[in-house]
Each structure stands twice: as structure tokens, then as C-alpha cells.
Amino acid sequence: MTLRRLLLAPFAWLYGAVLMVRHALYDAGLVKSARPAVPTIAIGNLALGGTGKTPMLELVLRTLEGRAPLATLSRGYGRSGTDFHEVRMEDSAQRSGDEPVQVKRKFPEARVFVGADRVGAIARIEQQVSGVKAIVLDDALQHRRLNAGLNVLLTTWQRPWFRDVLLPAGRLRDLRSRRVCAQIVVVTKCPSLPTEEEMERWRERLGLAPHQHLFFAGIEYDDSKAQQVSAGDEGQSATPGLLLFTGIADPEPLIQHLSRRAHVEHIAFPDHHPFTTSELARLAARFGTFAPGPKTLVTTEKDAARLGPLTGTPLEGLPLETIGMRAVILNEPERFADLIKHHVATHPAHR
């Protein structure tokens, strides 16, 4: 045990006691939870951000392609306000949150909503989206007032919940025992497909029951897209220098991916960080000096949603590319897809 964990352990025990009482009240039925009539798929985790919830939500949307209309719901972290709101293509991250804006731009046919009150928001979605086939919820595991029909629980290969402890000593925001609520558990950010023996060891260490489905997911990166091309540049991305800037929870996989292509310098900001003009000016200044010869600014789709229009900003005129990522199921992807589709197709609302 590290010194930090040892010193903060009493606070983690107190936090754990509060969580135990809260969950006991719900489990005993003393505090009520609601099961929506519409099929709901909740994607969550036990730890703080960085497990890949939004890429998993996008994977579920791709899996359910053709079953329109579909809706998504999240709190819209980082936006101003907690009101219920349908995200539009032209929305800013300040209005709707960076991840909902990203999802709407990638899946324009989906109805994307934000709202802090998940139960109330779902009721309003059912009213506004006639015949909605499913609502996919981002980060809803801790919302006990909502009893989702299908829970997909994520943990990372690098820091699974069995190696972690509760806040503030660790990064767990919920009890390990809450794993029992999940029908599907996905270990994300796997470097490769584990062997059968490794999968079985993971199942044992995660403490899963026989009926819980365990999957392993990796990351695939899309080809980078030129968001802005400098004068005289034709948008070619074969450059020796990449200045990467991110405001995401875990940029390391992206850094490793880009380092195979070119020399990378990374400038990190906190997750969901709203970029200021002075910070963009410092990025522009660093871009001018960090490498000789051809070079490009690179950021993620999530960060690009927070940048907004570049006209009139310090980054105007600089070559900027955005790169997207997607989650891919490494073991039995067809079975994962079948579980998602079966939940929606056989839901009582659709019988």
C-alpha cells in the first residue's frame, strides 16, 4: 500500500460506509427506482473517467444501426447548466458538453439529449421521440433512481477495479460489489486479444458470476482529418512533427499510436478542459518552435468539440488535424452485438 493510500484510507472507509447505506436503502426498496418502459442500455464504470464510456456508447449505436429512432442521454459534463436539452449539430460544448456534441456530429441521425435528471429526461424523450427503439445512457451506473434494462460495466486493462480502492485513496467512486448489477462487463483498452487462460483469470479476479458476460475491447483510431489547412498545404498528413494537445482522461494510448507515425510532443490539459484564448496562444507559439520542417497540430474529436470555430483565434491558419477513436470487441464481437440487439428486440415495449 502506498503512503498516499494509507493516509487517505480513513476517508475512503467513511465514503464507503456512506455508499453502503445508500445502496442498502435502494436494495431494500426503501428508496424507489424506476424502470422505463422503453429499452434502456446504461454504460458506466466504478472508477473516475477514462474507461472509454463514450466510445462504447458509439459502438452500441453502430450495433443498433437501422433500428431508428435511437436516442442517447448523458449529463453533458462540462456544460453550463443541468437542464434537459436536445443537442443540435451546431451546438457548442459549453451549451451541451463536448462528448454529446461529438456523438451528434458522428451520428447525425441519432437523437442526442443531455439532462442531469435521468428518470425525468427519459420520460421527456419518450414524449418527444415517437417510437424510440432504445435509449443509450452514458455514465448512468451511479444513478440508482434509474433501473436500466441492460447495464454495461467498463473497467480498463491498465487499472481494473480489483487493483483500485475508493476515493480519495484511489479512483473508485463506487463499491466493487456494484459489479453485480451488470449483465455485460467489458475490459477496455486491451493491448491485444487475451488468451483463454487470461480471460478466465480476469473473470475470477473481477469476481463475476456465471451469468455475467465478459468481453475484452481494444482501440482503433480513424484516419486523421484536416480540420484546418494552412496556406499552401494540400492537407497531406505525412509530417515529421506532430504537436498533440488533449484534454482527455487517458491520452497515453493515443500518444503511443501517433508515435509510430512521427515525432510527437504532447501538451496535456485536464479532462473536459475549456480552452482559453491565452492557452491557444501558447499552443500556437509552441507550434512555431517545437520541430523543424513540416509539422501539424493534432487533437481528438472530443477536444475539437470544445475548440469551436478557429476563425479569429490564435490557431487560425495553422494546420490542424483531428483524430477519432472507436472501441472494438476483441473476443466474440458477434455475441456482444447479439446481446445488445436481443435486449432491444425482445423488450416488452417492442413485442
For residue 186, give the amino acid letter: V
Stated as kind and residue range, the H or E segment containing 51 is none
Average pLDDT of the residues of the chain: 93
pLDDT at 231 over 60: no
Q: What is the pLDDT of residue 237?
A: 47
Chain segment 176-220, per-residue pLDDT in tens: 999 999 999 999 999 999 999 999 999 999 999 999 999 999 999
Chain segment 18-54, per-residue pLDDT in tens: 999 999 999 999 999 999 999 999 999 999 988 999 9
Q: What is the pLDDT of residue 43?
A: 97
Q: Of 242, 272, 284, 278, give the one whose Cα is nearest residue 260.
A: 242
pTM of the model: 0.91
Q: What is the pLDDT of residue 220?
A: 95
Strand partners, 73: 113, 137
Same domain, 80 and 189: yes
Q: Highest mean pLDDT: which of 111-115, 141-145, 317-321?
A: 111-115
For residue 84, give the amino acid letter: F
Same domain, 291 and 229: yes
- Structural domain range at position 338: 3-217+328-350
Same domain, 240 and 341: no
pLDDT at 264 over 60: yes
Same domain, 115 and 227: no
Provide mean pLDDT across the span 59-66.
Answer: 96
Work out the percent of the chain whose per-residue pLDDT is above 70. Answer: 96
Provide mean pLDDT across the span 259-270.
Answer: 93
Same domain, 195 and 54: yes
pLDDT at 234 over 70: no
pLDDT band for position 350 (50/70/90)?
low
Same domain, 171 and 227: no
Same domain, 191 and 293: no
Provide mean pLDDT across the span 309-332.
Answer: 94
* 265: CATH: 3.40.50
Spatial separation of the C-alpha atoms in residues 185 and 147, rounded to whole Å: 17
Same domain, 25 and 170: yes
Q: What is the pLDDT of residue 228?
A: 78
pLDDT band for position 232 (50/70/90)?
low
Q: What is the pLDDT of residue 308?
A: 84
Same domain, 341 and 315: no
Q: What is the pLDDT of residue 169?
A: 95
Provide mean pLDDT across the span 69-90.
Answer: 93
Spatial contact of 265 and 291, defined as CB atoms under 8 Å apart:
yes
User: Helix (H, G, I), strand (E, B), or coil: what is residue 339?
Assistant: helix
Same domain, 36 and 102: yes
Q: What is the pLDDT of residue 230?
A: 67
pLDDT at 104 over 60: yes
Same domain, 191 and 47: yes
Q: What is the pLDDT of residue 28?
A: 95
Provide mean pLDDT across the span 273-300.
Answer: 93
Burial class (CB in 10 A: 0-12, 13-18, 19+), 213: middle
Cell of 275: 480552452
Chain segment 115-165, per-residue pLDDT in tens: 999 999 999 999 999 999 999 999 989 999 999 999 999 999 999 999 999
Q: Which residues contact 227 (CB under 8 A, 6 or more apart)?
A: 304, 310, 320, 321, 322
* Total tally of structural domains belonging to the chain: 2
173 or 236: which carries more pLDDT confidence? 173
Q: What is the pLDDT of residue 236?
A: 47
Same domain, 158 and 292: no
* 105: CATH: 3.40.50.300
